[in-house]
Amino acid sequence: MEKNHLNPSRINRLYCSQCNTAYDYRTAQTFATCCGKPLLISYDLDTDFPISRIKDRPNTIWRYFELLPVLDEANIVSLNEGMTPVIQLEKLAARNGFDQLFLKDETNNPTGSFKARGLSVAISKAKELGIRKCIIPTAGNAGGALAAYCAKANIAATVIMPAHTPRVFKDECFLYGAELVLIDGLISDCGKKAQEMNKEGAYFDMSTLKEPYRLEGKKTMGYEIAEQFDWELPDVIIYPAGGGTGLIGIWKAFNEMKALGWIKGPFPKMVAVQSAKCAPISEAVKDPIHWKENFTPEATIANGLAVPYPFGMDLMLDVLSASNGETVLVNEDEIMKGILEFTRKEGILVSPEGAATYIAFQQLLGSGKITEGQKVLLLNTGTGYKYLENIIH
Ligand SMILES: Cc1ncc(COP(=O)(O)O)c(C=O)c1O
């Protein structure tokens, strides 16, 4: 990245999301050992940081450097991730008798998904902290992103992935020089394997929300959305939720920008879309105490949505509650239909996860939970090209 003498990071605290206990943000940290919950980072958000300061910076996530946890810009590991386009979906909107339907298209990120954002920040931080080996359980996209950023940073990467993941996700790990371990099962089984392999603590565990840095990268989507909508947020944002870092991160960004004085309320309704084959959030909304007991997760063509036991469940439920949000379920046929509508009407081959957000939009429009005149933003979190094996038989 072009060096333009950024101001120091405004990071001021690392704390347990459950009990608020402070942890040292200058040393390598994983999750909160006090409560077994995610750690969160906070920043000095006084109003002495005008929007104008970022306006002319390079179009990557690092334009928000002061609001990210890396202390020294020399440690930035960037492949030019971020500032992905927001596209107005005129044809899909018209097809549904709607007007203001938009897509934030994460396709153009390095390795083809929004996972690049989180891994750019986390690997930059790993470099800063002198970490030499990382391990990640993944549904596919995060593994490729970790492998690419680790290659650039000279850090060893181990990726643990379900064996049924499309081949390209495995091949890219090999090409970027990562060690790949395949598991018969879902990402939760990969997570168990990662813990087992890391018994001696040889690796830094990059599991979703089991470290605090990937979330900070993901939150840049929220900053960009505000910037791209000229600091007036859309009414509804529809996000395909797996472990939930995008949902939690976007909401975190909105709150930070409000404290900075960059945006005013009201905030959007946040919608978490899940596959009917694996819908832990809607199970937890129905029964927050016993949801795991009668829950049988299955694989889906939207690999990133098959996250049976998200570590950040409480944080996702907080976002849904604070935003008067919704959970929506989509089935496999609907996801396929969504992909074909996107390709044939808009010329975009979205990921199955991205297609799911369009189906959710249709459902919410049908039930009157979205109404004409609102501004709705869908998130296409990755390219569909990596999923062709799932889509075409
Ligand atoms: C394309 C895509 N969309 C959405 C998700 C879900 O992301 P998160 O786990 O951050 O909610 C993933 C995760 O693998 C993904 O690869």
Which pLDDT score is estimated for 2? 46
Average predicted confidence (pLDDT) for the chain: 96
Is the separation of the CB atoms in 38 and 311 below 8 Å?
yes
From 305, 311, 348, the mutation candidate for ligand 1 (largest count of ligand atoms within 8 A of CB) is 305
Nearest C-alpha to atom 13 of ligand 1 is from which residue? 304
Q: What pLDDT was estimated at residue 5?
A: 60
Based on its alpha-carbon atoms, the radius of gyration of the chain, rounded to whole angstroms, reads 19
- The pLDDT assigned to 294 comes to 84
* Residue 198 within any structural domain of the chain: no
User: Ligand 1 in contact with 144 (CB < 6 A)?
Assistant: no
Q: Give the number of the atom of ligand 1 that is nearest the alpha carbon of residue 353.
A: 3
User: Relative to the CA of 142, which ligand 1 atom is closest?
Assistant: 14
Q: Is any ligand 1 atom within 6 A of the Cβ of residue 382?
A: yes
Residue 263 CA to residue 268 CA, distance in Å, equals: 12
Split into its structural domains, the chain has a count of 1
Instruction: List per-residue pLDDT tens for the chain, 393 residues long.
Output: 444 567 899 999 999 999 999 999 999 999 999 999 999 999 999 879 999 999 999 999 999 999 999 999 999 999 999 999 999 999 999 999 999 999 999 999 999 999 999 999 999 999 999 999 999 999 999 999 999 999 999 999 999 999 999 999 999 999 999 999 999 999 999 999 999 999 999 999 999 999 999 999 999 999 999 999 999 999 999 999 999 999 999 999 999 999 999 999 899 999 999 999 999 999 999 998 999 998 999 999 999 999 999 999 999 999 999 999 999 999 999 999 999 999 999 999 999 999 999 999 999 999 999 999 999 999 999 999 999 999 997
Ligand 1 centroid, distance to 304 Cα (angstroms): 4
**386 assigned to some structural domain:** yes
Counting Cα atoms < 13 Å in the Cβ hemisphere of 176 gives 28
Judge if the beta carbon of residue 245 lies within 6 A of ligand 1. yes
Q: Which of 164, 309, 353 to mutate for ligand 1's pocket (most ligand atoms within 8 Å of CB)?
A: 353
CB of 390 closer than 6 angstroms to any ligand 1 atom: no
Q: Is 316 left (phi over 0), alpha (psi -120 to 50) or beta?
A: alpha
CA of 52 to the centre of ligand 1 (A): 32
**CATH at residue 281:** 3.40.50.1100
Q: What's the pLDDT score for residue 68?
A: 98
> 261: exposed, middle or buried (C-beta count within 10 Å: 0-12, 13-18, 19+)?
middle
For ligand 1, the distance from its centroid to the CA atom of residue 325, given in whole angstroms, is 19
Query: Could you tell me the distance, in angstroms and rounded to a whole number, from the CA of residue 381 to the centre of ligand 1?
Result: 7
Domain that residue 364 falls in: 86-110+214-391
Q: Determine if ligand 1 sits within 6 Å of the CB of residue 158.
A: no
Instruction: Please give the structure tokens belonging to residue 274.
Output: 């899940």
Q: Is the CB of 380 under 6 A from ligand 1?
A: no
Q: Tell me if 281 is assigned to some domain.
A: yes
pLDDT value, residue 241: 98
Tokens of 308: 């049976």
- Ligand 1 centre and the CA of 44: distance in Å? 29
Digit-coded pLDDT (tens) for 57-74: 999 999 999 999 999 999
Does a structural domain hold residue 230?
A: yes
Q: Is there a domain that residue 58 lies in?
A: no
Measured by CA distance, the residue closest to atom 10 of ligand 1 is 245
Dig out the tokens for 74 from the structure. 């020399």
**Ligand 1 touching residue 274 (CB < 6 A):** no
Determine whether the shortest distance from the Cβ of 300 to ligand 1 is under 6 A. no
Whole-number Å distance, alpha carbon 306 to ligand 1 midpoint, is 9
Residue 141 within any structural domain of the chain: no
Task: Check pocket membership of 353 for ligand 1, CB cut-off 6 A.
Answer: yes
User: Which one of 84, 105, 113 would you pick to mutate in the ligand 1 pocket, going by the greatest count of ligand atoms within 8 A of its CB?
Assistant: 113
Q: 80 in a domain, yes or no?
A: no
- Alpha carbon 94 to chain centroid distance? 29
- Does residue 119 lie within any of the structural domains? no
